[in-house]
Structure formats: structure tokens, C-alpha cells
């Protein structure tokens, strides 16, 4: 489980080499595009494009499956529930009391599911191809205060560590006869105190130690900071940015200036 | 190489047969282990980091279940008993006491285990008093365990296991982070428990500790048992210790260097070395 906290997969594709700032902008633009498009066929084209990028990013199959499982469940839920709560339109295919299932409502459900699919999977492109370090570096470059950036990076870094810590603590208490799944609700929540207290104490100790380690390396000695690795836009990044901006601006113009239904 | 177990006619409390254990994700931590442990033994499981000693120990109290092979504890396979039931037979004190401590007083902390196991009140009371006595915690019994020094916190965590009155006591690196005095006091107290009939399983890579206290040494490397003998036999084979990333106690290394002067290689205590040296220079 802990291994999946970081979706990043090491590889050397054009998406991995791309400036993380371009990738962040790309993901934002493609997300907006998913809201802009309202016809099912265009949304499916967008979804196909996103999957093409995922394929080009050489995302590992097992991780992709793991990540898509949640999205897929959500999409199925939308397709099933939408027609039940949306009685508008005709022809009516079936009705049971106040519930009417209409054909347009079914299509609206499928369209929304496709949109949600686009919105969710587009972020995987960023997560699969950008290491947490690069992500934080890009956010700082884009104006996030660097101490906030560091806090974010450290939190991400320690998620799997705390996962392992909680497992060890559970084992230690089970060895003392603690049965987590036994007893009523009150007893069970009281059982979790035995896990919670050592976890919090260990987390606080780790935080304390971490701040000492940071201070001993003169963190905060000056208010700005220098970088060992600086982010630089290359020509290819410029091209990629241009293509993506076009992919967003052209449909937007078509829709709002020329009133073409997209 | 087939490890030779020391002859023992004592009844078995733990019997490990053809144990294999693979972690989720495919790491083979235990490849093939056979090990019988009798009542009242004092056994040290030694090996470098990643040799599989902690994985083996976790298989003894059901925190991990065999991938194949069997672990029989108290006459029944661990696969048929839950962790709480096994905790009555095999107590396990973790390396880091802070993984266990959460109560507001040492007494409450020690009471937690036996209460979980559903012992009657008078038994719980008795066990807690005995555990406090055994680990010398009388002077801190009302204090919050997390406010104590590491040496005391470790003794509290061991006491909280002793209070469940298990026949077997597994101690994972019990002396890490303790100074010489705290360490030797803890070892004295463990010896007393062993004299009272408890089976002690010490997991460590401190060979000096092993030389001074254990009666039987199991050397592990890469998920297998390389050697199973008394400490004397274990330390005389430097090749095996090297394979398992262990360093023999300084006194044994010195004895090996002095082999040319008729000093035996299997020396494990300073007194022995002095005795043989005196003999070699022609003293009495």
C-alpha cells in the first residue's frame, strides 16, 4: 500500500524531461478544456488523448490499474445514478412511480462520467512523470514561498514512513494481546488509543529531530535561497506549451466567439 | 551445511520445521529454517542486518504466518492460533519501546497486556507486581512511562510483556542505546528470569552480549541458519561469523591472534584468556 503513495515512475520519456511548470500548466488547461467541451464525442477524443500521453509516459501497467480503479468506480456510479435523479427529456424509456428513466438523461450521465474521467486521469500524467522534488521545485518557482514548498515536500516524503510506523506499532500492541477488530464500537475506539498515542508521540519526536537537523544545516540563515538545480525552459518546452495553449484556445474561441457547439 | 543442534532431551516449546517466509512484494526473508527450542533455554539469534532474525522472531508469535513449512508453539501450529492466544505463550518485546508505551502510568502500562488476555483480577495484580519487581520499576511505578529515560522505558516495555506471564520471552535488540551499566543490569535481570524457568530468545548482533549470557547461539545469514551451537563453538568459526557480517568479541579475536602461543581459539571471556596466558608464560 505504502508504495503507491508516490505514483512517480522512473523513466526517460519526453514527458519526464519536460519542465514541470509546463506540465502543471498543461494539466490545468486540459482540465479547463474538459469543462469547456460539452459533447460526448469531443470528450472521448480528449480522454483518448490523455490515455495516449499516459501510454507515452510508459506508466507501469500495475500502477495505472491501481490508480484507475477508483476513477472507474466513480464513473460507473455516475452512469448508474444520473438517469435516476434526472427525469427531464424524452423519450421516457421506463418509469417506476416518480422515477423516470429518459434517453437524454442516460447520455448526460455518460457525458458527465467521461468528463470526470478526463479530469481525474489528466492529473495522473503529472503524477506519473514528475518526482515530488520537481513538483515542489516548480511550485516554488511559480511563486509558492519556499518554506511552504519544503513543508509540502517533507510531508509527502514522510507519508510512507508513517505508514510503516503505524504497522510496527500495531504489531507491537497485538503482541500484547490487543485485538483491534474485537468488541463493540466503544471498546474498539478505545483500542485505537493504544495505536494513536505511540504514533503521535513518535511523529512529534521525528518532527523535533527533523527541525534540529534542518537548523544544524543552517536552514533559514538567509531569507532567499539559492538552487543547485535550476529549472530552465528549453525550446521543446516552449513548443509543448504552444501546442497545449492552442489545444485550449482554439475550442474556446470556437465556442464563445463563433458560437459553434463543441 | 547441516547445522547441528546441541543434544537436548528437554521438551520442546517451539518447533520450526522447513519454514519459508516471503514478504508481500517478493522479498524472501526466510528461505529454509529448522529450529527446535526447549523449555528454559537461553538462546541468542544472531546475524547481520537483513539476515532474517527479526522475521523469524515475528513468526514465533504469529505476527507473521509461514509462507510454507510450520511453526509449532506449545504443541499447536501458529496458523491455528491468533496473535492474542499466542501472546500467552510467546511474549515479544519490540526494539523500540516507544512503539508500545501509551498509558499515563507505568503500572497501567504493565497492566494492559494481562488485562487484554482476560486474566482474572488477582492474577493480573500478581503478575503486575512480579513484573515491576523483575524489572526494578518500583520507584517509577506511578510516573508516565514516556517521561522516563530510554533504559527505563525499555524495562517498562519488557515488564509489560513479562506481566502476560509467557513461557517464552523474545527480546529484539534489548540493549541498543543503553549504557554499559544499564545494559549489564538488564542482562542480570534477564538471567534471573531464565533461572526461574523462562525461555529467553535474544535477538542481537552484539557478540559480547551473546558470549557472556547465551547458552546457545543460532547464527543466521540470508534467511538460513548457518550454525547452531554453544557460544564457544560459534565463535571459534571465524569464517561463518564473517559470512553473516558479525564480529566476534574482542577477547576471542585476541585469542585467535595468539594461537601460535598455544592459546585455544574458543576463548569467550577475559578470565579464560588471562588463565591461558599465565599458563603459556609459565606462571602457575
pLDDT per residue as tens digits for the range A56-66: 888 777 777 87
Query: What CA–CA distance (Å, rounded) separates B272 from B284?
Result: 14
Confidence of residue A126 (pLDDT cuts 50, 70, 90): confident
pLDDT of residue A100: 82
Select the residue of B25, B63, B116 nearest A177 (Cβ to Cβ): B116
Does the structure show a pLDDT above 60 at A86? yes
| Structural domain harbouring B51 | 12-234
Q: Tell me: do A89 and A150 sit in the same domain.
A: no
Query: What CA–CA distance (Å, rounded) separates A105 from A79?
Result: 10
Q: Tell me: do A125 and A203 sit in the same domain.
A: no
pTM: 0.73
With an 8 Å Cβ cutoff, are A175 and B102 in contact?
no
pLDDT of residue B244: 79
* Higher pLDDT among residues B231 and B8, named by residue: B231
* Higher pLDDT among residues A76 and B243, named by residue: A76
Does the structure show a pLDDT above 90 at B166? yes
With an 8 Å Cβ cutoff, are B100 and A174 in contact?
no
3-state secondary structure B171-183: EECCCCCCCHHHH
* Higher pLDDT among residues A116 and A4, named by residue: A116
Residues forming beta bridges with residue B20, ordered by sequence position:
B68
pLDDT of residue B8: 45
Mean pLDDT for the stretch of residues B73-90: 91
Chain A contact residues (CB < 8 Å to B): 3, 168-169, 171-179, 193-194, 196-198, 201-202, 205
Query: What CA–CA distance (Å, rounded) separates A195 from A181?
Result: 13
Mean pLDDT for the stretch of residues A77-106: 84
pLDDT of residue A247: 86
Q: State CA A168 to chain mean position distance.
A: 28
Does the structure show a pLDDT above 70 at A2? no
Q: Mean pLDDT over all residues of chain A? A: 85
pLDDT of residue B1: 39
Q: Tell me: do B38 and B80 sit in the same domain.
A: yes
For residues A33 and A251, the answer to whether their CB atoms sit within 8 Å is yes
pLDDT of residue B159: 94
Residues forming beta bridges with residue B81, ordered by sequence position:
none
Does the structure show a pLDDT above 70 at A6? no
Phi, psi of B175, rounded to the nearest 5 degrees: -105, 0
Which residues in chain A have Cβ-Cβ distances shorter than 8 Å to B117? 177
Q: Tell me: do A31 and A98 sit in the same domain.
A: yes
Q: Tell me: do A99 and A176 sit in the same domain.
A: no
Mean pLDDT for the stretch of residues B108-118: 93
Does the structure show a pLDDT above 60 at B65? yes
Q: Tell me: do B212 and B271 sit in the same domain.
A: no
Mean pLDDT for the stretch of residues B163-173: 94
Does the structure show a pLDDT above 60 at B6? no
Does residue B174 sit within a domain?
yes
For residues A259 and A251, the answer to whether their CB atoms sit within 8 Å is no
For residues A103 and A137, the answer to whether their CB atoms sit within 8 Å is no
Does residue B274 sit within a domain?
yes
Mean pLDDT for the stretch of residues A150-176: 87
Task: Tell which of B85, B96, B102, B144 to mutate to test the A interface (max A CBs under 10 Å).
Answer: B102
Does the structure show a pLDDT above 90 at B252? no
Q: Tell me: do B230 and B256 sit in the same domain.
A: no
pLDDT of residue B266: 81
Q: Tell me: do A186 and A72 sit in the same domain.
A: no
Q: Tell me: do A159 and A52 sit in the same domain.
A: no
The two beta strands, B216-221 and B42-46, are parallel
Does residue B204 sit within a domain?
yes
Q: Mean pLDDT over all residues of chain B? A: 88
Does residue B40 sit within a domain?
yes
- What is the ipTM, given to two decimal places? 0.83
What DSSP designation does A180 have? T
Which residues in chain B have Cβ-Cβ distances shorter than 8 Å to A175? 61, 63, 83, 87, 91-92, 94, 161
Amino acid at each position: 500500500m505504502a508504495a503507491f503513495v508516490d505514483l512517480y515512475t522512473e523513466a526517460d520519456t519526453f514527458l519526464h524531461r519536460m519542465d514541470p511548470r509546463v506540465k502543471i500548466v498543461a494539466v490545468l488547461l486540459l482540465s479547463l478544456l474538459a469543462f469547456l467541451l460539452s459533447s460526448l464525442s469531443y470528450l472521448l477524443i480528449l480522454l483518448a488523448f490523455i490515455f495516449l500521453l499516459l501510454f507515452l509516459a510508459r506508466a507501469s501497467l500495475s500502477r495505472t490499474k491501481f490508480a484507475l480503479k477508483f476513477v472507474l468506480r466513480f464513473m460507473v456510479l455516475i452512469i448508474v445514478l444520473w438517469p435516476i435523479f434526472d427525469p427531464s427529456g424524452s423519450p421516457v424509456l421506463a418509469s417506476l412511480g416518480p422515477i423516470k428513466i429518459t434517453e437524454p438523461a442516460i447520455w448526460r450521465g455518460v457525458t458527465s462520467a467521461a468528463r470526470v474521467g478526463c479530469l481525474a486521469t489528466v492529473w495522473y500524467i503529472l503524477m506519473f512523470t514528475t518526482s515530488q522534488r520537481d513538483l515542489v521545485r516548480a511550485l516554488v518557482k511559480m511563486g509558492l514561498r519556499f518554506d511552504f514548498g519544503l513543508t509540502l515536500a517533507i510531508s509527502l516524503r514522510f507519508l510512507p514512513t508513517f505508514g510503516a510506523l503505524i504497522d510496527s506499532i500495531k504489531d507491537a500492541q497485538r503482541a500484547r494481546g490487543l485485538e483491534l477488530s474485537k468488541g463493540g464500537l466503544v471498546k474498539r475506539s478505545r483500542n485505537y488509543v493504544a495505536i494513536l498515542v505511540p504514533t503521535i508521540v513518535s511523529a512529534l519526536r521525528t518532527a523535533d529531530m527533523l527541525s534540529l537537523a534542518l537548523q544544524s544545516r543552517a536552514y533559514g540563515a538567509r531569507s532567499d535561497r539559492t538552487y543547485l538545480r535550476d529549472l530552465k525552459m528549453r525550446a521543446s518546452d516552449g513548443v509543448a506549451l504552444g501546442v497545449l495553449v492552442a489545444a485550449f484556445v482554439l475550442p474556446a474561441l470556437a465556442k464563445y466567439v463563433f458560437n459553434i457547439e463543441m | 551445511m547441516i547445522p547441528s543442534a546441541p543434544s537436548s532431551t528437554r521438551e520442546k516449546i517451539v518447533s520450526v520445521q522447513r519454514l519459508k517466509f516471503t514478504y508481500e512484494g517478493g522479498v524472501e526473508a526466510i528461505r529454509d529454517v529448522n529450529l527446535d527450542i526447549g523449555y528454559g533455554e537461553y538462546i541468542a539469534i544472531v546475524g547481520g542486518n537483513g539476515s532474517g532474525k527479526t522475521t523469524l522472531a515475528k513468526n514465533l508469535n504469529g505476527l507473521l504466518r509461514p509462507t510454507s513449512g510450520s511453526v509449532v508453539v506449545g504443541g499447536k501450529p501458529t496458523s491455528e492460533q491468533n496473535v492474542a492466544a499466542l501472546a500467552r505463550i510467546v511474549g515479544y518485546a519490540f526494539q523500540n519501546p516507544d512503539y508500545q508505551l501509551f498509558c499515563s502510568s507505568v503500572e497501567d502500562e504493565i497492566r494492559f497486556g494481562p488485562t487484554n488476555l482476560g486474566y482474572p483480577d488477582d492474577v493480573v495484580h500478581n503478575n503486575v507486581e512480579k513484573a515491576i519487581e523483575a524489572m526494578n520499576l518500583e520507584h517509577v511505578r506511578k510516573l508516565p512511562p514516556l517521561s522516563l529515560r530510554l533504559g527505563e522505558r525499555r524495562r517498562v516495555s519488557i515488564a509489560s510483556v513479562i506481566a502476560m506471564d509467557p513461557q517464552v520471552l523474545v527480546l529484539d535488540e534489548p540493549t541498543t542505546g543503553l549504557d554499559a551499566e544499564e545494559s549489564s543490569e538488564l542482562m542480570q535481570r534477564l538471567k534471573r528470569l531464565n533461572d526461574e524457568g523462562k525461555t529467553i530468545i535474544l535477538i542481537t548482533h552484539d557478540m559480547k552480549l551473546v558470549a557472556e549470557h547465551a547458552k546457545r547461539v543460532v547464527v543466521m545469514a540470508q534467511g538460513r541458519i548457518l550454525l547452531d551451537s554453544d557460544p564457544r563453538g560459534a565463535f571459534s568459526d571465524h569464517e561463518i561469523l564473517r559470512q553473516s557480517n558479525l564480529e566476534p568479541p574482542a577477547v576471542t579475536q585476541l585469542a585467535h591472534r595468539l594461537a601460535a602461543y598455544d592459546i585455544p581459539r574458543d576463548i569467550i571471556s577475559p578470565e579464560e584468556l588471562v588463565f591461558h596466558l599465565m599458563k603459556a608464560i609459565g606462571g602457575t
